[in-house]
Chains A and B, each alone.
Chain A
Amino acid sequence: MSSAVDGADTGALTTDPTTDLHEAGPELVQLLTPEGERVDHARFTFGAGLSAEEEAERIRGFYRDMALVRRLDVEATALQRHGELGLWAQLLGQEAAQIGAGRALRPQDFVFPTYREHGVAWCRGVDPVELLGLFRGVDQGAWDPKANNFGLYTIVIGAQTLHAVGYAMGVQRDGHVGTGDPERDTAVVAHFGDGASSQGDVNEAFVFAASYNAPVVFFCQNNQWAISEPIERQTRIPLYQRAKGFGFPGVRVDGNDVLATHAVMEAALQRARDGQGPTFVEAYTYRMGAHTTTDDPTRYRLSDELEQWKLKDPIERVKAYLTRNGLVDQAFLAEVDEEAEALGRRLREGCHALPDPHVLDVFDQVYAEQTEELAEQKAGYAAYLDTFEPEAAR
């Protein structure tokens, strides 16, 4: 097509007409179909080097993880409904993406989560009760990031991606990249959503990571929605293709396929640990619940869409695969159910037992080196509180 006005060849500037935002196509890495059939992929395999029994054990583990984090999510949602939590951000539907990514980590790797990464937190060994504190309003993230190499939840969209790159730059400077020592070489994961991909911070993180060849994996859970905004509002090409423009590889994986997500993340993490730089992994998935417990998705999306995605449920397909191939028996499934029950109980009890903060404590948390004026402000407020209830103001 050329411009009628001055003959300029605008046709030379068209975009690739084959890029479809939602096209699964050959670009989507999938190793387990929604029906629970194993399929091959040209570049990625799950379980290379594992014996059949080892592989089955792994997959049973994934099933267990996913079933338990779904239970965690359901329980937390119920706690919110009962007024025990102020808010909850559900992970429903994103279990495979999170468990696949989380189980591909080595202990020394470090994770920068959003506010929805309960499944990754689970894999890292963060006490699920501790996840509730922020949502209950008793703290703003009480776990120690260094204890499990799992950062605090970040609510300001995208901010943590830059932190991940900076942490990865530190890893580089410490000489923990490309040594060939599997216990030393370290990768960093930046979690974020499709909506976050629009933020300046995230794009700056791509630039920094590429510029320094940082050992970081950008793991984007494209769950199709940013609150009420569909993915089309954020991008007109598949997100993974953006990576190319920044100068590092991007791959789209079926985020409801735990085997594929695990395989792709294992490769991307190893690439980072080996010193080959950043990778963008787009986990193509779906937010089956509301954005958070305060959201009402019926205002902006059709229930049809949800019904379609229910057919691709990440847990059902693993269960189908395992049962069909005789890799689990009823006893195993019942055991997982029991574990889920126990986890539910532990969450309820743990939630109720979370200690309420005292307002005076907040004064001590502001600085590493307390200032005199803030200490004075605290003392003044304590004295004031004493005039009401002497024993409460410690």
Chain B
Amino acid sequence: MTTMTLAKALNAGLRRAMEDDPKVLVMGEDVGKLGGVFRITDGLQKDFGEERVIDSPLAESGIVGTAVGLAMRGYRPVVEIQFDGFVYPAYDQIVSQVAKLHFRSGGKIPMPMVIRIPFGGGIGAVEHHSESPEAQFAHTPGLKVVACSNPVDGYWMIQQAVASDDPVVFLEPKRQYHADKAEVDEDAVPDPLHVSRVVRAGEHATLLAYGPTVKVCYAAATAAAEEGKELEVIDLRTLSPLDMAPVYDSVSRTGRAVVVHEAHVNLGLGAELAARVTERCFYSLQAPVLRVGGFDTPYPPARVEEEWLPDLDRVLDAVDRTLAY
């Protein structure tokens, strides 16, 4: 057992993945000597050398594109995109190459690559540093997309993503990096990567969250409990593929669901979740599935981000609205 922040847990998970498999490489901007701008790769270059922990030229398309070639050569690259807003120069490589090579080659070219992206807002940053691009990737067949929300998941999910033979877009809630600590049992048997999990049981409504909004929803559920409303909170963890069984199970009991993410609501994950829940739980639903998220504007200047991001009050407001049906 070790007490860790999410940042430390990811670091420890990466370290263990590199120890377990000499083919695992870490690459990206400033990941070596600096240990990444968030220090997620801190100390890895010192211990595994420059051949395995690679400071790349400043070019995201180059990072992901060369990772494709390294994967073809038998390596398992873990690439770091410094901030969410800087993934787009690599978008072509990710969507047109990484996502499709297994398909095009009839399985002869697997892409065991992890693309780590610190995502989400709330850190008072300048533009392009606070975005939530998950839907762009979840919409792309051939990519798997996961989001961790806490140190324990960070530790295990990064290792599982590295071990996966498919490309995984790995989203890390940067606001949580250095926030809460948790006990991580390095000898535990973790849940599989692509499962969702009920993190708080409740009977009146279901909150669906991932990454940074899990904490928001948990706090909302705690507040609601004081008013006698028991909210079930599900940490989705896997965004593509989705693990709907726990969601269907929960909503069939509660009859109400609210999806909470920082990404823009329009065509976001919430839309897919609402559609699926409506299709499968139609007769159990007491209210339409509601969505709480970022508004359909670009991410705003930092001084108003806390009002733009879904917070406890907006979640509770949605809960009240769903309960009012």
Q: Point out residues on A near B: beta carbons under 8 Å.
A: 86-87, 115, 134-140, 155-157, 195-196, 198-201, 226-229, 233-234, 294-295, 299-300, 356-359, 362-363, 365-366, 373-374, 377, 381, 384, 388
Chain A CB within 8 A of B74 CB: no
Return the chain A residue nearest B31 by Cβ. Answer: A228
Asked if B297 and A137 sit within 8 Å, CB to CB, the answer is: no
Q: Point out residues on B near A: beta carbons under 8 Å.
A: 29-30, 32-35, 37, 55-59, 61-62, 85-86, 88-89, 124-128, 295-298, 300-305, 307-308, 313-314, 317
CB distance from A230 to the nearest CB of B (A): 9
Asked if B125 and A86 sit within 8 Å, CB to CB, the answer is: yes
Return the chain A residue nearest B42 by Cβ. Answer: A299
Asked if A134 and B126 sit within 8 Å, CB to CB, the answer is: yes
Return the chain A residue nearest B313 by Cβ. Answer: A388
Asked if A362 and B34 sit within 8 Å, CB to CB, the answer is: no
Complex Cα distance, B264 from A362, in Å, reads 14
Say which residue of B32, B33, B58 sits within 8 Å of A157 (CB atoms). Answer: B58
Complex Cα distance, B317 from A180, in Å, reads 66
Say which residue of A198, A227, A388 sits within 8 Å of B59 (CB atoms). Answer: A198
Say which residue of B58, B124, B308 sits within 8 Å of A226 (CB atoms). Answer: B58
Q: Please name all residues of chain B whose beta carbon is closer than 8 Å to the beta carbon of A381 when the two chains form the complex.
A: 295
Complex Cα distance, B273 from A137, in Å, reads 33
Return the chain A residue nearest B32 by Cβ. Answer: A228
CB distance from A103 to the nearest CB of B (A): 28
- Chain B at the A interface: SS class: loop
The verdict on A87 contacting B317 (CB below 8 Å), with A229-B58, A299-B33 known, is: no
- List the 10 closest A-B pairs by CB distance, nearest first: A137-B302, A228-B34, A198-B57, A195-B58, A359-B307, A359-B304, A362-B300, A198-B59, A137-B303, A86-B124
Complex Cα distance, B295 from A233, in Å, reads 40
Number of A-B contacts (CB under 8 A): 111
Asked if B295 and A200 sit within 8 Å, CB to CB, the answer is: no
CB distance from A134 to the nearest CB of B (A): 6
Asked if A358 and B29 sit within 8 Å, CB to CB, the answer is: no
Q: Please name all residues of chain B whose beta carbon is closer than 8 Å to the beta carbon of A227 when the two chains form the complex.
A: 29-30, 34, 37
CB distance from A159 to the nearest CB of B (A): 9
Say which residue of A135, A195, A359, A384 sits within 8 Å of B126 (CB atoms). Answer: A135
The verdict on A155 contacting B128 (CB below 8 Å), with A195-B58, A227-B34 known, is: yes
Complex Cα distance, B297 from A228, in Å, reads 33
- The winner among B37, B125, B126 for most chain A CB atoms within 10 A is B126
Say which residue of B58, B125, B303 sits within 8 Å of A136 (CB atoms). Answer: B303
Q: Please name all residues of chain A whose beta carbon is closer than 8 Å to the beta carbon of B301 when the two chains form the complex.
A: 134, 137-140, 357, 362
Q: Please name all residues of chain A whose beta carbon is closer than 8 Å to the beta carbon of B308 when the two chains form the complex.
A: 359, 362
- Other than the given A135-B126, A139-B301, 14 more pairs (CB < 8 A) read A86-B124, A137-B126, A156-B86, A195-B58, A196-B58, A198-B62, A229-B30, A234-B57, A299-B35, A357-B301, A357-B303, A357-B304, A362-B308, A366-B296
- The winner among B61, B298, B301 for most chain A CB atoms within 10 A is B301
Complex Cα distance, B29 from A295, in Å, reads 14
Q: Please name all residues of chain B whose beta carbon is closer than 8 Å to the beta carbon of A138 when the two chains form the complex.
A: 301, 303
Asked if A155 and B127 sit within 8 Å, CB to CB, the answer is: yes
CB distance from A88 to the nearest CB of B (A): 10
Q: Please name all residues of chain B whose beta carbon is closer than 8 Å to the beta carbon of A377 when the two chains form the complex.
A: 295-296
CB distance from B131 to the nearest CB of A (A): 12
Asked if A87 and B34 sit within 8 Å, CB to CB, the answer is: no
CB distance from A175 to the nearest CB of B (A): 34
Say which residue of B55, B128, B303 sits within 8 Å of A356 (CB atoms). Answer: B303
Q: Please name all residues of chain A whose beta carbon is closer than 8 Å to the beta carbon of B62 when the two chains form the complex.
A: 198, 200
Asked if A362 and B304 sit within 8 Å, CB to CB, the answer is: yes
Say which residue of A136, A156, A195, A365 sits within 8 Å of B297 (CB atoms). Answer: A365
CB distance from A366 to the nearest CB of B (A): 5
Complex Cα distance, B303 from A33, in Å, reads 45
Asked if B57 and A200 sit within 8 Å, CB to CB, the answer is: no
Return the chain B residue nearest A380 by Cβ. Answer: B295
- The winner among A201, A227, A384 for most chain B CB atoms within 10 A is A227
Complex Cα distance, B58 from A115, in Å, reads 16
Complex Cα distance, B79 from A360, in Å, reads 37
Q: Please name all residues of chain A whose beta carbon is closer than 8 Å to the beta carbon of B128 when the two chains form the complex.
A: 155-156
CB distance from A368 to the nearest CB of B (A): 14
CB<8 Å pairs between A and B, sample of 25: A86-B126, A86-B302, A136-B303, A137-B303, A156-B89, A157-B58, A157-B86, A195-B57, A198-B57, A198-B58, A200-B61, A226-B29, A233-B56, A295-B37, A299-B33, A300-B33, A357-B301, A358-B304, A362-B297, A362-B301, A362-B308, A366-B297, A377-B295, A381-B295, A384-B314
Say which residue of A140, A199, A233, A358 sits within 8 Å of B127 (CB atoms). Answer: A140
Return the chain A residue nearest B303 by Cβ. Answer: A137
CB distance from B190 to the nearest CB of A (A): 32
The verdict on A201 contacting B89 (CB below 8 Å), with A356-B303, A357-B301, A362-B308 known, is: yes
Say which residue of A136, A199, A234, A358 sits within 8 Å of B89 (CB atoms). Answer: A199
- The winner among A200, A295, A358 for most chain B CB atoms within 10 A is A200
Q: Please name all residues of chain B whose beta carbon is closer than 8 Å to the beta carbon of A295 when the two chains form the complex.
A: 37
Q: Please name all residues of chain A whose beta carbon is closer than 8 Å to the beta carbon of B33 when the two chains form the complex.
A: 228, 299-300
Return the chain B residue nearest A228 by Cβ. Answer: B34
Return the chain B residue nearest A234 by Cβ. Answer: B57
Complex Cα distance, B89 from A226, in Å, reads 17
CB distance from B109 to the nearest CB of A (A): 23
- The winner among B32, B33, B59, B308 for most chain A CB atoms within 10 A is B59
Q: Please name all residues of chain A whose beta carbon is closer than 8 Å to the beta carbon of B59 when the two chains form the complex.
A: 198-200
Q: Please name all residues of chain A whose beta carbon is closer than 8 Å to the beta carbon of B55 when the two chains form the complex.
A: 228-229, 233
